[in-house]
Chains A and B, each alone.
Chain A
Amino acid sequence: MDLRTKYMGMTLKSPLVVSASPLSKTLDGIKKIEDAGAAAFVMYSLFEEQIELEQKELFSISTMGSESFAESLSYFPDVAEYNLGPDEYLEHIRKAKESVSIPVIASLNGKTTGGWTRYAKLMEEAGADALELNIYNIPTLTELKGEDLEKNYIEIVKSVKDNLSIPVAVKLSPFFTNLANFAKKLDEIGTDALVLFNRFYQPDINLDELEVEPHIVLSNPTEMRLPMRWIAILKGRIFADLAATSGIHYGEDVIKMLLVGANVTMLCSSLLRYGVEHLKDIQEEMIEWLEERDYESVMQLQGSMSQLNVADPSAFERAQYMKAINNYVINY
């Protein structure tokens, strides 16, 4: 079975890509990703804000209480060199490139326009094959208009694209008034791929302490419906490649995503839950399904059920929601 697919100009041996996750934090982890059969992987994200925070924190720690009391003018030795911020990440890219043969896609969450481009360039220089921009923030200002926010995003992506020669993907959240329009805008400035969708970690409340706490929940298969719908809608309407992520757990999930038009499928939660070896199972399930139905290649399948290619395009539209409710069977 020819599992090859194209993603951002790269020919990948299969559509199975490991998304940005702790799995790529160590070189060992990356080697395991390759050994399990991934066609590529997205490195865990570098957060510009975190880099700044860490630097400021280290500065604060190393100067805390200093030059204040005659006997203790400092509290820490002056260390020769610190592995701060991007250095560690960039070194990780370099080492990953040396260690594995599959493409390395770096991932960046910037804060400032300058930061986005500066770090993106550094990642390219470190050897990343492609870059995924992890545009990840929750706008909370009531005065901030949606159009201004979108404009800002477009500027960031454009600025990165203008400065880089490697392909650039944008990982999006689903929360846009008209996602299709925004996707088109990104497409117009040459974005090489859209990754649908970013899952925001939703905070929880600790009832004992009455505190808001981060609460990380792994995705479940039902979550794949949202990206699946939007990939179906966007396929054929924009030039950018499409990567599906969220809730892809089994071979059948991958097939569904490919059917609606995904160039690649990105996996994380299922691998965290079942181990990175699970990739092999997924691939086997995929092959089984394709072979049973006499498909020759993945490319043959891709987009065959996009909105443009299905008999009832409205099935992917809002009316379908109403229908779903009407058809819902109450089991109690």
Chain B
Amino acid sequence: MASVPSDLSEAAEDAAAQEKARERELEKLLVQKAIEKDGAAFAELYDKHVVRVYRHIYYMVNDTRETEDLTAQTFLKAWEAVGRYKERGAPFVAWLLRIAHNVTVSHLRAKRDHGELEDVFVDVKMDRNPEQALEQSTDEKNVREAVQKLREEQRQVIMLRFVEELDYREVAQVLGKSVPAVRVIQHRALGNLRKIMQG
């Protein structure tokens, strides 16, 4: 009897692993079709990843209209570039996130150069009690501001590791670096974040 729950959980794990493998195969197929310029396949990839791309950009700009513009730019650029996409073991979404990141960084640089960059980190969480929301939003705001102040490479590692929750191997593949190099960048970035937040 005691082995029943264990058997059940193993069966559930097997089923989940099989489902993941099936999803990976399906995505590979869609990516291959998109590379061959199949618009419907690209639209399916869009359906699958648009929310994640949108949220990645929102983290950096904190403005709905700008996020929508940059999300559109990201997918249009991805369609232009998908013919050159090479599968290197990282999930397809990691490639999309790299495009999103580059598009957003260019946008923020242009804004900064034109003196338009304001304090954009306003509270957007209306579903908490006001005191809690204020305290938490201040912390989140400070962290997000600090992340934006990191050097480009460090910011990208921090966002991919802790906002997108990719593992070291995936981040290394996205950035074309070794896993130890990503670990070093992450360590330096976290140290710099501490310094920035301590003022």
Decide if A and B are genuine partners: no
Spell out A's residues near B (CB within 8 Å). none
Spell out B's residues near A (CB within 8 Å). none
